[in-house]
Amino acid sequence: MIPLLLAASLAAAPGPADALPDGPGRAVLQAKCLMCHTGDYVTQQRLTPVQWQRTVEKMRKFGSPMTDDEVKVLSDYLAQNWPLDVPERRPAPVKAPAGAVSAR
């Protein structure tokens, strides 16, 4: 019971999943992918439309409860938003606080 409650609270926590682009596949991604994967894990991928389709179908075989329509909507959404030519998101550089000692 506790792991289920923890998973529910983590799923509700704000984070990268809240920054997903709008589109018909967003709800499917949130409901069907983020039950096992983090938003960062999913969105760091850069695949062709065929590769996205195969990946979604593979996840369905692994147990993700998706209908045929959801597979199509999700594959299209992922291919549109994370194709091969979209650069990977990089974290912003962290600046040392004023007065910090240099590590040189």
6 in a domain, yes or no? no
50 in a domain, yes or no? yes
Amino acid identity for residue 14 in this structure: P
8 in a domain, yes or no? no
- What is the rounded (10 degree) CA torsion for 31, 54, 84, 86? -10
55 in a domain, yes or no? yes
61 in a domain, yes or no? yes
3 state DSSP class of 100 = coil
The boundaries of the domain holding residue 43 are: 23-81
3 in a domain, yes or no? no
- The per-residue pLDDT string of the chain (104 residues; one tens digit each, 9 = 90 and over) reads 444 434 443 444 434 556 899 999 999 999 999 999 999 999 899 999 999 999 999 999 999 999 999 999 999 999 999 998 877 666 667 777 888 777 66
pTM: 0.68
8 A C-beta contact, residue 56 and residue 32 = no
CATH number at residue 64: 1.10.760.10
**CA distances (Å), origin 46, targets 11, 16, 17, 30, 51:** 23, 17, 17, 18, 9
How many domains, in total, are found in the chain?
A: 1
